[in-house]
């Protein structure tokens, strides 16, 4: 099974190329703030061009006035002038490239910042549909291709263009007839540039896609290496990566093949141009009287050589520009992506949350033909714990995601304290929420930093107190560097249970008014589960909470129990004086009773086999 980008490449479809002029215009916007520095580089380019034009002129003068006449002193003076000219050209060239490198890297910094800023604002649905590796490729590989053009290609392009214009003026000044003869090969060069350029653009667009697919697969396999090794799927993954890598190799060979044919084509045409100049110049020099001097022919040959060299250089730079434009298109495609969820123009800051949450006839789907929630209504009173139970795919996680407005309802509304979540700013809402997920994510950095992520203003003492409330302080203080222990990527140098306790400490430190727990006790041993349960009990106290659980023993004290199936609430109960929601649904003898007794039988069977159960159910029907 191959990833989306690869499938698109294999079925032969291509995205329509964006307008080149528009892409260049957008790139120029990033250069606009540095117009003063660019103006200085422009002055250096003009001086550089003048220095380069002076060289062939001095060479021709040396031939006609000093070499033929045997004037050693004049020749020496001319050679010293020539040395000064070339040293001046070197100094100008150094200034051009250094200045452009500084400006180019500032532009790349801005580009990467804009991409990252956009990624941070996109909805979860976007990330459901796009691979992380491909997004990383846009941020790194595609930006680097633009950097190559900005850091050196742009200066070389402008320098070559100015040199071509200067050489044309110089050649016409020396001999207009010989200058016109030089142009015989120009239409062929222009035709070759157009022919190869169009093919290079298409080819390089494919290379940007294939490298994105390779990056996506590489990122996925590095992240999932434990699963790969656990199921002994190394060979299958290697084969899949090899196919993606082969596609990338073939795309690059195809693209480079176009440019490889372009360069020698220009070489041949430039050689033909030199031969024409030499032949016609020789013809003029052999007339009686001579219509041109030997020195002019020598100057012309140097000028023509330099005339065709920047044209060849522009040809190579043109291919590089196509690669950069293909990368820029992918970058602007991402930057132009509009977040599906945005704050309404009149959205207000969410006042301190009391904790009343109401779902009114809520329906939701990711695709119109696949309903995820169907006409769901519920109400959670302030401070209540609402437990959500049901099979995988029942809609539990989607339901809690609507509370934090990670998705928008399709029909109905979600209200907190009587305010529709669509009428408040997402930041003010989410800043008062705490989320503890089954798959805990920890960032690279110290344990202290990861807990403080819940409240960046918290003191070290506040972080430690939160860790104690989460029962995490004991194992943290036993570590070599305590709270300053550096975590590896995603905290893989900690156990699953330890990562979960840190995430609970992070939520405690945030002091949320609304709390969402998504199977926070799965995949841990019995002792750690007890620690987590105690921490969760402290965390739930006084807060409106939504708890998704598969271990039904963990939610027996919930104030409300909602049983979901196929996006609908099929059973529900609210604790009343003397009768918990748990007991009410057991007495009902329907779906919840079946789920509960099925798990109880599994636990009994594990106990008979002498396997640890991880938790113990109470006898069905008792509280």
Q: What would the pLDDT profile of 472-492 be if each residue is shown by its tens digit?
A: 888 899 988 899 988 876 667
Query: Binning pLDDT at 50, 70 and 90, where does residue 15 land?
Result: very low
SS3 category, 398: helix
Whether residue 314 is predicted with pLDDT greater than 60 in this model: the reply is yes
Task: Report which of residues 240 and 377 the model is more confident about.
Answer: 377
What's residue 621's pLDDT? 34
| Burial class (CB within 10 angstroms; exposed 0-12, middle 13-18, buried 19+) of 610 | exposed
Query: Binning pLDDT at 50, 70 and 90, where does residue 5 land?
Result: very low
Q: Find out whether 316 and 264 touch, Cβ atoms under 8 Å.
A: no
Query: Binning pLDDT at 50, 70 and 90, where does residue 607 land?
Result: very low
Whether residue 209 is predicted with pLDDT greater than 90 in this model: the reply is no
Task: Report which of residues 124 and 360 the model is more confident about.
Answer: 360
H-run or E-run covering 18: none
Is it true that the peptide bond before 199 is cis, omega within 30 degrees of 0?
Answer: no
Task: Report which of residues 313 and 436 the model is more confident about.
Answer: 436
Parallel, antiparallel, or unpaired for β 514-518 and 433-436?
A: parallel
What's residue 230's pLDDT? 63
Q: Find out whether 150 and 107 touch, Cβ atoms under 8 Å.
A: yes
Query: Binning pLDDT at 50, 70 and 90, where does residue 229 land?
Result: low
Q: Which residues of 59-78 are buried (b: 16+ CB within 10 A; e: fewer)?
A: bbbbbeebbeeeeeeebeeb
Query: Binning pLDDT at 50, 70 and 90, where does residue 6 land?
Result: very low
The structure tokens 């690059």 sit at 252
Q: Find out whether 234 and 179 touch, Cβ atoms under 8 Å.
A: no
* Phi–psi pair at 465, nearest 5 degrees: -65, -40
Rounded distance between C-alpha atoms, residue 409 and residue 373, angstroms: 9
Query: Binning pLDDT at 50, 70 and 90, where does residue 37 land?
Result: confident
* Sequence-separated (6 or more) residues with CB below 8 Å from residue 409: 362, 363, 364, 402
The structure tokens 């099925």 sit at 598
Task: For 46-86, write each residue's pLDDT tens digit.
Answer: 888 888 778 777 777 777 777 777 778 877 888 888 888 88
Largest interatomic CA distance in the chain:
125
Describe the crossing of helices 460-469 and 526-540 by its angle, rounded to 10 degrees.
120
Query: Binning pLDDT at 50, 70 and 90, where does residue 415 land?
Result: very high
Query: Binning pLDDT at 50, 70 and 90, where does residue 201 land?
Result: low
All domains of the chain in start order, with CATH: 17-335 (1.20.1560.10), 440-511 (3.40.50.300)
Q: Which residues of 157-175 are buried (b: 16+ CB within 10 A; e: fewer)?
A: bbbbebbbebbeebbeebb
Query: Binning pLDDT at 50, 70 and 90, where does residue 619 land?
Result: very low
Rounded distance between C-alpha atoms, residue 25 and residue 19, angstroms: 10
Lowest-pLDDT range, 108-117, 142-151, 397-406?
142-151
What is the Cα 318 distance to its own chain's centre? 26
What's residue 379's pLDDT? 94
Q: Find out whether 355 and 432 touch, Cβ atoms under 8 Å.
A: no
Rounded distance between C-alpha atoms, residue 322 and residue 320, angstroms: 5
What's residue 376's pLDDT? 93
- Which residues are 564's β-sheet partners? 569
H-run or E-run covering 364: strand 357-367
Report the predicted TM-score, pTM, of the whole model to 2 decimal places: 0.63
Angle at 496 between CA 491 and CA 498, to 5 degrees: 75
Rounded distance between C-alpha atoms, residue 437 and residue 441, angstroms: 8
Rounded distance between C-alpha atoms, residue 575 and residue 560, angstroms: 6
Task: For 544-578, write each residue's pLDDT tens digit.
Answer: 999 887 767 667 888 999 999 999 999 999 988 77
Rounded distance between C-alpha atoms, residue 107 and residue 101, angstroms: 10
Describe the crossing of helices 581-588 and 591-608 by its angle, rounded to 10 degrees.
90
Q: Find out whether 35 and 220 touch, Cβ atoms under 8 Å.
A: no
What's residue 85's pLDDT? 84
Rounded distance between C-alpha atoms, residue 142 and residue 134, angstroms: 10
Query: Binning pLDDT at 50, 70 and 90, where does residue 198 land?
Result: low
- Count of helix runs (H) and strand runs (E) in the chain: 22, 12
Q: Find out whether 545 and 517 touch, Cβ atoms under 8 Å.
A: yes
* Sequence-separated (6 or more) residues with CB below 8 Å from residue 339: 121, 122, 123, 126
Mean pLDDT of 368-376: 87
Q: Which of 158, 182, 188, 189 is nearest to 299 (CA)?
A: 182
Q: Which residues of 104-128 are buried (b: 16+ CB within 10 A; e: fewer)?
A: bebbbeebeeebeebbeebbeebee
Lowest-pLDDT range, 209-213, 350-354, 430-434?
209-213
Whether residue 11 is predicted with pLDDT greater than 60 in this model: the reply is no
């Amino acid at each position: 099974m191959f990833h989306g980008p690869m499938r698109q490449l294999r079925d032969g479809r291509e995205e329509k190329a964006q307008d080149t002029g528009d892409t260049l215009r957008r790139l120029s916007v990033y250069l606009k703030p540095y117009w003063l520095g660019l103006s200085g580089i422009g002055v250096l380019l003009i001086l550089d061009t003048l220095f380069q034009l002076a060289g062939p002129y001095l060479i021709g003068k040396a031939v006609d006035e000093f070499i033929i006449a045997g004037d050693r002193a004049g020749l020496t003076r001319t050679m010293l002038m020539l040395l000064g000219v070339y040293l001046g050209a070197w100094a100008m060239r150094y200034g051009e490239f250094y200045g452009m490198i500084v400006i180019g890297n500032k532009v790349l910094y801005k580009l990467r910042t804009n991409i990252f800023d956009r990624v941070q604002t996109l909805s979860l649905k976007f990330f459901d549909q796009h691979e992380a590796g491909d997004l990383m490729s846009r941020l790194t590989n595609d930006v680097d291709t633009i950097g190559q053009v900005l850091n050196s290609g742009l200066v070389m392009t402008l320098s070559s263009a100015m040199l071509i214009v200067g050489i044309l003026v110089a050649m016409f000044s020396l001999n207009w007839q010989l200058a016109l003869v030089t142009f015989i090969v120009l239409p062929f060069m222009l035709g070759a540039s157009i022919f190869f350029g169009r093919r290079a653009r298409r080819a390089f667009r494919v290379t940007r896609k294939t490298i994105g697919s390779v990056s996506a697969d590489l990122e996925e396999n590095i992240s999932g290496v434990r699963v790969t090794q656990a199921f002994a799927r190394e060979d299958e993954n290697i084969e899949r990566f090899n196919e993606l890598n082969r596609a990338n190799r073939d795309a690059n060979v195809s693209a480079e093949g176009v440019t490889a044919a372009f360069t020698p084509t220009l070489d041949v045409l430039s050689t033909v141009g030199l031969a024409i100049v030499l032949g016609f110049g020789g013809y003029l020099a052999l007339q009686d009287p001579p219509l041109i001097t030997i020195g002019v022919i020598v100057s012309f040959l140097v000028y023509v050589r330099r005339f065709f060299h920047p044209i060849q250089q522009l040809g190579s730079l043109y291919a590089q520009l196509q690669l950069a434009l293909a990368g820029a298109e992918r970058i602007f495609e991402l930057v132009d992506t509009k977040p599906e969820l945005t704050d309404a123009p009149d959205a207000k800051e969410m006042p301190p949350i009391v904790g009343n949450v109401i779902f009114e006839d809520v329906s939701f789907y990711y695709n119109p033909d696949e309903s995820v929630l169907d006409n769901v209504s519920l109400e959670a009173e302030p401070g209540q714990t609402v437990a959500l139970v049901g099979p995988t795919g029942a809609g539990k996680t989607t339901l809690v995601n609507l509370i934090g407005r990670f998705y928008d309802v399709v029909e109905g509304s979600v209200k907190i304290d009587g305010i529709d979540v669509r009428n408040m700013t997402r930041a003010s809402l989410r800043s008062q929420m705490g989320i503890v997920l089954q798959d805990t994510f920890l960032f690279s950095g110290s344990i202290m930093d990861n807990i403080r992520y819940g409240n960046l203003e918290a003191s070290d003492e506040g972080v430690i107190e939160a860790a104690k409330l989460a029962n995490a302080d004991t194992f943290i203080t036993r570590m070599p560097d305590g709270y300053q222990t550096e975590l590896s990527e995603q905290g893989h140098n900690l156990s699953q249970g330890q990562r979960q306790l840190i995430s609970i400490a992070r939520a405690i430190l945030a002091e949320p008014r609304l709390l969402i727990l998504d199977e926070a006790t799965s995949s841990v041993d019995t002792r750690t589960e007890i620690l987590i349960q105690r921490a969760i009990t402290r965390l739930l106290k006084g807060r409106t909470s939504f708890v998704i659980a598969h271990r039904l023993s963990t939610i027996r004290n919930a104030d409300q129990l909602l049983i979901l199936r196929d996006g609908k609430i099929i059973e529900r109960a609210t604790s009343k004086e003397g009768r918990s929601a748990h007991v009410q649904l057991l007495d009902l003898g329907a779906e919840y009773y079946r789920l509960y007794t099925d798990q109880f039988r599994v636990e009994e069977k594990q106990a008979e086999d002498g396997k640890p159960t991880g938790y113990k159910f109470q006898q069905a029907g008792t509280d």
